[in-house]
Amino acid sequence: MPPISNLAAVQGLSPRDLRRLMRSGEWRTPTAGLAPGFAQANLVVVPRETAYDFLLFCQRNPKPCPLIDVTDPGSAEPAYAAPGADLRTEEEVTEITRHWRPDFVAFLLGCSFTFEGAMQRAGLPVRHIEDGRNASMYITSMACRPAGALHGPVVVSMRPVPREGVPRAGLVTGRYPRAHGAPLHVGDPGAIGIRDLAHPDFGDASRIEPGEVPLFWACGVTPQAVARTAKVDLMITHAPGHMFNLCLRLASLWCGAPAGDGVACLSCRMSRPSPGCCAAERSGAESTGYGS
């Protein structure tokens, strides 16, 4: 079956159903706009001997590397964020089953694709979704806090927003610290070492209309830049813009979500996966209050 590339064709599918399409090779394009209301994540896989340094790196750099889930050594199942899923086959573009080792530890890091639906509901543009392109990502001159042998620059994603919408964009996205939160920088790209917005280091260039301001969010592609800078022996990551679809509702990443009924911000306490997806769906679990 030829790959699906039309976003409208997969609207309404659950994260589990979307992962099936990715596992079969039927979806091979960027995941922005998929499963609105559910979280997406960046993927980093390292050998167990590197895992502590990377965990510490995430703790020291929560903006670009907001930690959502960590697997047990050798396990490809993110048991908290997507029970029953297999990171080796369901985080496209490339299947990594034959490369998997019993000492591998996988990390899922929050992604800004998660809050883009909230931006759209607030009347803010998300240009790469409008244009059917990948997001724009840039290596900056800002340095991460090192951890062990890991060091390198912060990578950011860019979204143009009308000047009058900048405060609103900060308020809307700032509610999701486990999806990178509020912008890291507003305005002049040169101030953070970006020479030319028309030539991103990852993804596609975004169209910027008159009266719009570039906003820059910390990005989960940062570990890829760190691996290159620090000359890490082995690190497997997602392809930029091709994220892992989680069974966590947007509300579970919202700082300010009401406590109780199973809903809580990941910054405050851990929640269970959302009913209607993955293990909760298979077990016939009743609603526990998840929703957005």
What is 113-225's CATH superfamily?
A: PSTPO5379-like domain (3.30.2040.10)
Lookup: tokens for 59: 């703790």
Residue 216 has pLDDT above 80, yes or no: yes
Say which CATH topology domain 7-110+230-282 has: PSTPO5379-like (3.40.1640)
Confidence tier at 274 by pLDDT (50, 70, 90): very low
Q: What is the pLDDT of residue 31?
A: 61
pLDDT in tens, 103-125: 999 999 998 888 888 899 999 99
In the three-class reduction of DSSP (H, G, I as helix; E, B as strand; rest coil), residue 88 is classed as helix
Q: What is the pLDDT of residue 48?
A: 97
What's the Cα-to-Cα distance from 245 to each of 40, 85, 227, rounded to whole Å?
5, 10, 24
Query: Mean of the pLDDT values across residues 51-61?
Result: 97
pLDDT in tens, 18-49: 667 766 666 666 666 565 667 888 999 999 99
Specify which of 93-107, 113-127, 253-267 reaches the highest per-range mean pLDDT: 113-127
pLDDT in tens, 4-24: 455 556 666 666 666 677 666
CB atoms within 10 A of CB 285: 14
DSSP 155-210: EEEEEEEEGGGHHHHHHHHHT-GGGT-S-SEES-GGGGT---TTS-SEE-PPP--T
Spacing of C-alpha 52 from chain mean position: 21
Kindly list the domain boundaries of the chain, sorted by start residue.
7-110+230-282, 113-225
Selection from 122, 139, 123, 135 nearest residue 40 by Cα? 135
Query: Mean of the pLDDT values across residues 118-133?
Result: 91
Cβ burial of 196 (10 Å; 0-12, 13-18, 19+) is exposed
Model confidence, pTM:
0.80
> What is the length of the chain?
292
Give the least confident one: 31-40, 69-78, 139-148.
31-40
Mean pLDDT rounded to a whole number for the chain: 80
Q: What is the pLDDT of residue 259?
A: 37
Check if 7-110+230-282 and 113-225 are the same fold: no
